[in-house]
Structure 1
């Protein structure tokens, strides 16, 4: 019963989030996906919920890495999924401005690692604690998110959405230019 209720709630949240967050600027393709770890990643992906990870979940070899994309070199998770900043977040606040229905379109990038690690990322890596008690990854003091419409490694469909969602570069800065094709 709990599983069915959670699935129903997640579906309703997704629908509400798509209505409540900015829309997609269009589709884009990229040519590169990251190489790297063969360890089973523990960072949650775009379709995952924001619930705290279970104790049985193993941490990946690295939480973050870099990859080439149509927007330039970007930060991705251990599975190669693109990560984004929300311009409405406040650096080093310890909180996320994306809450409620927003999280359906922009799921948090979570980790179970005691200390997050990265390969090729030069910005300062950290975490904040979500209201549910999970650890959300941060880069240079800003929370990181996925975009629900990014389905494959290398997708960057969230770039520039609503003028407030931007890919992260390896130094931990927002990439404020549009990806080619937008």
Structure 2
């Protein structure tokens, strides 16, 4: 793993009034765990189509049997935002004519040739998504199909390489799936100019870091060692924030596996609102280009990934 050094930091301490709740605690390293999955490459611009998308020149008849999703991943698409992909980086889709409650697939026959079913079996949740969202549905032929938040998922026969999103919007009924099972859509800018809203916090696993916090896009969340939790102080301002964007406020209901104690929002003097975990301000890193990257770990001896209880993970 390449470590980037030399980050310019403008150390301006900002003391913020807290509630009566005491914050803080000693830092410790997390436990090692299983590796997170690979991440797909950026996608191409989507194409449109009619019906099932099996227009002139379709290769639908050559599509083979359903294949499992394997280690799922979260890809970042310029237009769609976070998109769920299989272990080979191929985009996963959902069909508006299906139902999630109860789970039911309405794509059979020729439809399933154009939109190959993702078989249930060895699928593993991507870093940054809730594993409980994965499930399965029994199809009319008795086979089992992977579901995400109850929605059956598919690949598209006209996606020829990892990152393609040619199935997006086909027939007005087919859409790339987001990590939460919803239709993929670019996040809106966060209040106060804090950048893209992550929408959620959850726990991912890394072979070196173990359990660590990631945002809703699967991007690693970091702490800055000079910050303090009591009083709640951020010492990352100016050029520092440009390289280490603050994590915008996240509803506590969307913080999966994160400690609930002292889950507060920091009002910064630059007008941004910053999420804290156990009163520690948290950030992402512009040097991380895709979900699962940990390029910020150990930068300058001051930036480290965050354990679910808010403590620093200092392993290298």
The count of corresponding residues between Structure 1 and Structure 2 is: 144
Q: Which residue of 1 aligns with 2:204?
A: 67
For structure 2, the 5+ residue unaligned runs are 1-5, 10-34, 38-126, 131-179
For structure 1, the 5+ residue unaligned runs are 1-17, 22-29
Distance 1:133 1:175, change over 3 A: same
Q: How big is the shift at 1:104?
A: 1.6
Distance 1:171 1:94, change over 3 A: closer
**Distance in 1 of aligned mates of 2:211 and 2:276:** 18
2:36 to 19, 31, 56: 31
Contact 1:83 1:146 in 2 (8 A): yes
1:122 to 237, 240, 259: 259
Q: Which structure carries more helix by proportion?
A: 1
Q: How big is the shift at 1:103?
A: 1.1
Q: Which residue of 1 aligns with 2:193?
A: 51
Distance 1:77 1:112, change over 3 A: closer
**Distance in 2 of aligned mates of 1:142 and 1:86:** 9
Contact 1:66 1:120 in 2 (8 A): yes
Q: How big is the shift at 1:111?
A: 2.2
Bigger relative CO (Cα 8 Å, ≥ 6 apart): 1
**Distance in 2 of aligned mates of 1:119 and 1:41:** 21
Distance 1:19 1:120, change over 3 A: closer
Q: Which residue of 2 aligns with 1:173?
A: 311
Between structure 1 and structure 2, the one with the greater Rg is 2
- What are the superposed Cα offsets for residues 37-71 of structure 1, whole Å, 9 maximum, x if unpaired? 34668697xxx997257xxx9883xx211011231
Contact 2:193 2:272 in 1 (8 A): yes
**Distance in 1 of aligned mates of 2:188 and 2:298:** 23
Q: Which residue of 2 aligns with 1:7?
A: none
Q: Which residue of 1 aligns with 2:235?
A: 97
Contact 1:43 1:111 in 2 (8 A): no
Contact 2:246 2:284 in 1 (8 A): yes
Distance 1:123 1:177, change over 3 A: farther
- What are the superposed Cα offsets for residues 90-143 of structure 1, whole Å, 9 maximum, x if unpaired? 113333100111112111111264x57410112532210122333201011110
**Distance in 2 of aligned mates of 1:58 and 1:143:** 16
